[in-house]
Structure 1
Amino acid sequence: KDLDSPFPFSDRFNSIFGLNRSRIESSLGSGVIFYSNGYIVTNQHVIGDKSAGITVELSNGLKKEAKIIGIDKGTDLAVLKIDNDHELSSIEIANSDKLRIGDIVLAIVNPYGAGQSVSMGIVSATGREFNNPYSDYIQTDASINRGNSGGALLDSSGRLVGINTLIRSSSGGSEGIGLAIPSTRIVGIINDLIQYGEVRRGWLGFSIDRRVLRVNNLLQISYVNPGGPGEKATLKKGDIIISINNELSSYPLLFKEFARSKPGTTIKFKVLRESKELDLELFTSSMP
C-alpha cells in the first residue's frame, strides 16, 4: 500500500510502524476483528486513505482483500471490511475508563512482520495527549515495536482496552513508552465510521485562551462563535469555566467532553463572570 506522507501528528513521535521517511513502498500493521461480520479496526496511518491493495491476513493464514469503510485522521483510526463465508471471532471489549495506573496489560503484536506475539506490561498513565488534540491515550511500558500499529492492547482477562498506535522513542524502537487509543473512544468512532463513513462530533462554539491556560491553568473563554452553541448557552468572552458536568474543570476534562460528544449532547458548565458564579447548559451542534 503506497503512503505518500509521514505520520501526521508530530515529528517528535514515531508511529509504531516507523513512518520516518517521506515515502515508503508498502506498509505493515496489525488490526482487530471488531465485529464478527468482517469489520476490522486498525490505524489510519497503516492503510492510508485509498482502498486499492489492502490485504488482511487472518490468524489462520487465510488472506482476504479488504475495503475501507471509513477513516478518522484526527484519532488515526480506520475501519476495514472483509467478506467471509462464516462469522469471524470478534474481540470482547472492556471499559478502558476503569483502567488504573499499575494494571497489567498485554500487547498483541506483529513485530517487524515476524508473526503474532504477546508482550506484557502495565498501565503507566492515562489521558495522555501528546500533541494530538483528539487523543486521550493510554500509556504503557508493554513492548511495542514496528508492525504493531493497529494491534490490540488487552487487560488481564483478554478484553480489548486499546488499540496500539504510537511509541515515543529516540531510536525508533520500544523504549517503554507506548501509546494506545482507549476502547471507550474507539467504540463510538468505529460505529460512526460504519454508519456514516465519518465521525460526527459535537461542536462547542467557543475557544479557550491558551496563554491563560498555560500561565494560570484556568479555562478562560477567549472567543465565542456568533450563533454557535456557546453563544446560545450565553457564554461570554472572559468567562472562566470552573466546573464541567459537576466536575472540577481542567483542559483534559473539557477535551474529553468535547471528543465524546455528539450533536445534541448536553454539557453543564459553571462559570465565573465578574465575581459571580453562573450555571449554564450548552447543547452541542454539528461542526459548521
Structure 2
Amino acid sequence: MSLPIITADERLAEPRGIKGCIFGKSGIGKTSLLWTLDPARTLFMDLEAGDLAIEGWPGDSIRPRTWAECRDFAVFIGGPNPALHDEQPYSPAHHAAVCQKFGDSAALDRYDTIFVDSITVAGRLCFQWCKCQPEAVSEKTGKPDVRGAYGLHGREMIAWLTHLQHTRGRNVWFVGILDEKFDDFNRRIFQPQIDGSKTGLELPGIVDEVITMAELKADGGDPYRAFVCHTINAWGFPAKDRSGRLGQVEEPHLGRLMDKIRAPGTPAPRRLTFTPPADGAADHPHPQS
C-alpha cells in the first residue's frame, strides 16, 4: 500500500462546501436570507418554528424538536465518523441506525446547502438535554451540578458543529442571535447568543466564514442592512473571512456571497498585506443604534 498522499490537483478538484455562521439582532432578516438561495437545492433545518418570514418559500424543511433529533439529522447529513466507537454519537453504528429510520441518505443528494435556523435554539435544546444526563448530577450530593451540565453542553455542541463542518460536499450555514452588551468599562461588545461560553469561543475556529448581519448608516444617509465580513472592522462585530475574497462590507444576499467566495481568488501572497494603512484612511459608516 502506497502512502495516501492527496495531490494538489486532486485537492483542488474536490467538491468543497462553505461552512459559515451569520449573527444579527432579532428582526434583522436572517431567516429571510432563504429567499436568496435556490429552493430546489436548499434544505431548511427549522429549529425556531419562525418561518413566517419565508411564508411561500418553496423549499424543503426538517423540524427537529429535541437534541437527539438534532444529532440524528447531523449524522444523516454528514455521514458517519469512522474514528468513533459504536456507542458514540456520529459513529458508523449511529449512522446505520438513523438510515434504518429515515431511509437511504442518498435522498439528500439533491441538496447542496443546509440552512440551520438557529444555532441559538440548538444550544437551548442541547442544554435542556444535558441537564438530564448523569454528568449534570453531583455524585456526592445527588443534586443538580450546573458546572457538569455546562461542561457536557460545550462538548456536545462542538461535536455537533464539527460533524456538520466535515460535510465536505455541502454548504452549511448556521444563523443565530447577536447580543449587544457593555463591559465593566462601558465599552460595547457583541456576543453570539448561545448557552455557555465554550461554543461561542470555539465556533469561529470551526467554520470558514463568520458574518454579522448588521444595520449600518452612512454619514447623512439612510440606514441599510449589510454583511460585515472582516475580523478587523470599525464596529467590533464578530466576523471572519477564510476565503480572502470578501470585502469588509457585502450586500446581504447569501446566494451572491457564496458565488463570490467560490470565484477565483487572488493568490494569498498577493492579497495579504503586512504594513499598516497610510495616514488619513477613509472613514467608514457607523452602526445604526
TM bin, normalised by shorter chain, reads under 0.3
The TM-score, its normalising length taken from structure 2, stands at: 0.23
| More strand as a share of residues | 1
The structure showing larger relative contact order (alpha-carbon pairs under 8 Å, at least 6 residues apart) is: 2
The TM-score, its normalising length taken from structure 1, stands at: 0.23
| More helix as a share of residues | 2
